[in-house]
Amino acid sequence: MSLLEKVNVTTGTGWQMGPCVGNTGTTSVGFPSLCLQDGPLGIRYAYPITAFPAGITTAATFNKDLMHSRGRAMGQEAQNLGINALLGPCIGPLGRSPLGGRNWEAFGADPYLQGVAGQLTVRGIQELRVMAVVKHWLGNEQERFRRKGELGSWPKVKEAISTNIGGRAAREVYAWPFQDAVREGATGVMCSYQQVNNSYACENSWLLNGLLKDELGFQGFVVSDWLAQRSGVNSVIAGMDMTMPGDGLSWADGLSLLGANLTSMVVNGTVPVSRLDDMALRIVASWYKLGQDDPNFLPKQKKPLFSSWLRDEIGPLYPRSSDQDQQMIVQNYFIDPRGQLGNLSQIQTGDVDHAKLARQVAAEGIVMLKNVNGTLPMSGGTIRKGPYKQIGIFGSDAAHSPIGPNGCIDRSCNVGTLGQGWGSGSVEYAYLISPLEAIQARAIQDQTTVDFVLQDGSNSVNSTAYQVNKHGKDAACLVFVTSDSGEGYISAEGNLGDRNDLKLWHDGDKAILSVADNCENTIVVIHSVGPVLMEAWADHPNVTAILMANLPGQESGSSLVDVLYGNVNPSGHLPYTIGKSLADYGADTEIMWDPNWEIPQQDFTEGIYIDYKWFDKHNITPRYEFGYGMSYTSFNFTQLEITTLWNGELAEEPPSATGLSGNPALWDPIFRVELLVTNTGKVAGKVAAQLYLSFPKAIEYDTPVRQLRGFEKVELAVGESKIVVFELTRRDISVWSEEKGAWVVPREKGGVGVGSYGVFVGPSSRGKGVSGETEKIPSVN
C-alpha cells in the first residue's frame, strides 16, 4: 500500500458518506472499504432484521449458550448484509450509577458477568467472521457531559467530563470485561467520548498504548467513537488506529483530523511511518484473522446490501454530499438476512430461527421477583387449579404505540410497549408482539375473558378493575409499567439520556396501587432499562406477583406469555441490585447533574464498590439482591467440594509476561469447585448456580464481602440432580496492587502463605446455597 492507501484504511469517509454508520476509504490493492455498523442488539438501520433482547435482558438469562447463540445470530445477519464490523457488544457502561442512560445496552452491574457475556457475544459474532468492536473504552458511565459537541446546554462547561478512575478500579471493574473480550480475540475496541483522568479517551496514551495494548496485549485496532477524536497527532501517538466517522470536530464537516492531515503528519515527520504502518496493519490483520479475504465472505454484490440513510432502491453514492452529478447506485437490495445461513460450514442451534432464539432469550431474561399464593403460572398449578376466568390488563405498556413500533427516531420515546432503550444501540422493529395481543391469543384458548384499559396512572382503573374484582380469586389483573433511558444525543420526556430517577414512568406506582386496591391477584410486569423503586407497592398484599421483564425486543408478548403460562419456567436472575432508594446505591454514584468545574470532574471515589459490592460493604438490605430470581420449582444446593489444582507454592505476583489478554499466568487454574444442584419441586426448571468468592480476611487489601466468580445455568427435571463444576483462576483470586503495579494473590498477614477463600454457591448473591473454604496454599518467599 502507498502512504495514501494506508491513510485511507485508517480514516472514515465522513458522516453519511457511505452505506454504513462508518465506512473506511479504499485502496487499489484489494483491501476494501470496510462497513462498520451498530449495534449491540441487532443491525441498526437495516430492515428487516431481528430486534434481539437488549444486553441487560441477555445478562439476566445467566445462560452462556444463549449469550453465544445470540452473538452468532447477530454475526450471521451482519454477514448476510455485507457488514465487516459490528459495533458491539457493549461491555461498558458497567452501571456504576443505576441512572446511567446506556446501562441497558451492556450486561449488568458486575464486571465478571459483563466479561462472560461480552466474551461469548464476541465469540458468536466472530465465528461468523464479522469483526466485533467492543465498546466503550473506558469509563463512559454517564451521558451528561460525555461529548464535547453535546455541551450546548451547559455553556460554562468547556470540555467533556473526566471520569477519574484509580488503577485498581480500572483493572478490577471497568477493564475487566474488556480483558475477557481481548482474550477471546475481539478485533476492535472503541475508545469513548469522555475524558479519563483528564485526557480524552481517544488520545489517552495510558489507556490505549498502556492498559489496552501493552498490559492487555490487544493486537487489534482502536476505533474512535463517532467524533470522539479531539486531536490529530496526540490521538495517533496515544494509540488510536482508526477515526470515525472520519470528519473533524463536528458532523459532516469534511475536515478530518486524520485523512490528509495524517499524510502530512507522516510526511513532515511528526508521526513516524512505523506508527502509520502499525495502524493499518492492525486493521488489515483483523480482516485476515477472520477470513474476510475469502471471496465468499461478502455477498455477491461485494458491498453492503442496505443503506443506513436511504430507503429507496437507488440513490447517490455519497448520500450526504450535495454534489448533484454524483453516481447513482443500488442502495437497498431488500434482502432478508434473518436465518439465512450465509457461508457457514457448521450450523448450530439457534442459527436458523432467529425469532425463536430472540423469544427464548427474552423469556429466560424475565426475572420473577414475587409469586405468592400460586398466582403464577396463569394456567394454574398446584395451588390454584386451572386458568383464571377473567383477565384485566392495565397500562399503555401492554399494547402498541399508536405511531407504531418505529414511530420515534432511534426509539426515543416511551409510548406503547417498551422493548428497547433509545440511541445508537436501538434497531428498527421488523415486527413487535405486544403483551396484549399475545395474552389475548392465549386467553382465547382457555376461554378466559380479557378486558383492558390502556391509560396510565390512576386513570388505569375504571370499571374494569371493579369488574374483575367481582371474580375475586378467579380474576387476574396485569399492570404494565416502564422505565426508559438512552443515549445522550436525544431525549425523551425530559430525560436527556440518563434516567432522572429510579421511579416508574407515567405514574406507574399509582397505576399499580389503584389496581391492587381493587384486585386480589395483581401481577406487575415491568419493562425497564434497569432497577426501579418498588417500595410503594411491592409489599401490597394484593400485589401477588412481580415480573421484571427487562427489555425484551421484538418477542415481548410471546416471551411474556411463555413465562406467565408456564411454558417456560422462569429462570432469569437480576443482573443488578434492586435497592430501596437511589441513595442505597451510594451517594457518589449518582449521575453528576451539575458540573463541578468547567471540565466536570467525576471521581470514582467508591473504587471497586459498585452495586451489590456497595450494598454488602455498607450493610444495606436491598429489596431484591443481585442474582435473585424465582422459579415455579425449587432447588437445593449441596455437597460443595473444593479441590486445589495448584501444585506447590504460589507466588504472590505471577511471573511477569505479556500475552494476548495480559499475563497468561492470570489464567492458571488454582481451585476447582464442585457441587450438586437438585430440583426439589414439582416441575422441571432451570436455575443459574452462582459462585461468589470472599477473600481471606487477614490480608492487606480491602476486598468486597463477595464477588461473582462463576455461573452456570442448569436444567433439571423433577427430582433430578446435576453436578456443577467451576474453575477459579489466578485472576479470580487476585487483587490489583497499585503499589506493585501488578495483580497479586494477597498473602495472609503474619501467615506463611495464601489464606483460605470463602466460596459460596447459590441461586443469588444472598440466597440459600452452600458454602465452603479453600485450602491455604504456601507461598514462595
- Round to whole Å and give the CA distance between 625 and 609: 15
453 vs 395: CA distance, rounded Å: 6
Are 528 and 505 within 8 A, CB to CB?
no
Phi, psi (degrees; rounded to nearest 5) at 169: -65, -35
Phi-psi region of 366 (alpha: psi -120 to 50; beta: other; left: phi over 0): beta
Indicate the DSSP class of residue 373. T
With b for 16 or more beta-carbon neighbours within 10 A and e for fewer, the 461-474 pattern comes to beebbebbbebeeb
Q: Are 47 and 430 in contact (CB under 8 A)?
A: yes
Residue nearer to ligand BGC on the CB measure, 136 or 282: 136
Most distant CA atoms of the chain, gap in Å: 84
- Grid coordinates of 535: 417500595
Question: Rounded to the nearest whole angstrom, what is the least distance from the CB of residue 252 to ligand BGC in the complex?
Answer: 14
Least separation in angstroms between residue 424's CB and ligand BGC is: 4
Single out the residue of 452, 444, 446 nearest to residue 480, CA to CA: 452
Rounded to the nearest whole angstrom, what is the least distance from the CB of residue 507 to ligand BGC in the complex?
31
Q: How far is the CB of 579 from ligand BGC (least distance, A)?
A: 27
Q: Which backbone phi and psi does 349 adopt, to 5 degrees?
A: -55, 140
| Choice between 15 and 394, CB closer to ligand BGC | 15
Helix (H, G, I), strand (E, B) or coil at 603: strand
Of 245 and 350, which has the nearer Cβ to ligand BGC?
245
Nearer to ligand BGC, 192 or 263 (CB): 192
Q: Provide the residue type at 438 as one letter.
A: A
Q: How far is the CB of 423 from ligand BGC (least distance, A)?
A: 7
Nearer to ligand BGC, 134 or 744 (CB): 134
What distances in angstroms separate CA 777 from CA 652, 744, 781, one per listed residue? 11, 14, 13
Between 252 and 441, CB nearer to ligand BGC: 252
Q: How far out from the chain centre does Cα 682 lie?
A: 34
Amino acid (1-letter code) at residue 778: P
Instruction: Specify the residue, 424 or 679, whose C-beta has the smaller distance to ligand BGC.
Output: 424
Dist CA 283 CA 333 (whole Å):
28
Q: Name residue 518's amino acid.
A: N
Binding-site ranges for ligand BGC (CB under 6 A): 21, 38-39, 87, 135, 225-226, 424
Beta carbons of 118 and 165 less than 8 angstroms apart: no
Q: Considering the complex, what minimum distance in angstroms separates the CB of residue 256 from ligand BGC? A: 16
Q: Identify the three-state secondary structure at position 426.
A: coil
Treating both helix axes as pointing N-terminal to C-terminal, what angle do 354-364 and 556-564 enclose, rounded to 10 degrees?
50
Do 645 and 669 contact (CB within 8 A), yes or no? yes
Q: Which is nearer to ligand BGC, 226 or 760 (CB)?
A: 226
Helix 260-267, helix 3-10: angle, nearest 10:
130
Query: What is the closest distance, in whole angstroms, from the C-beta atom of residue 135 to ligand BGC in the complex?
Result: 5
Q: Please indicate whether residue 225 is annotated as part of the active site.
A: yes
- Per annotation, catalytic residue among 38, 110, 225, 484: 225
Separation of alpha carbons 236 and 257, rounded Å: 10
Nearest approach, Cβ of 422 to ligand BGC (angstroms)? Answer: 12
Catalytic machinery residues: 225
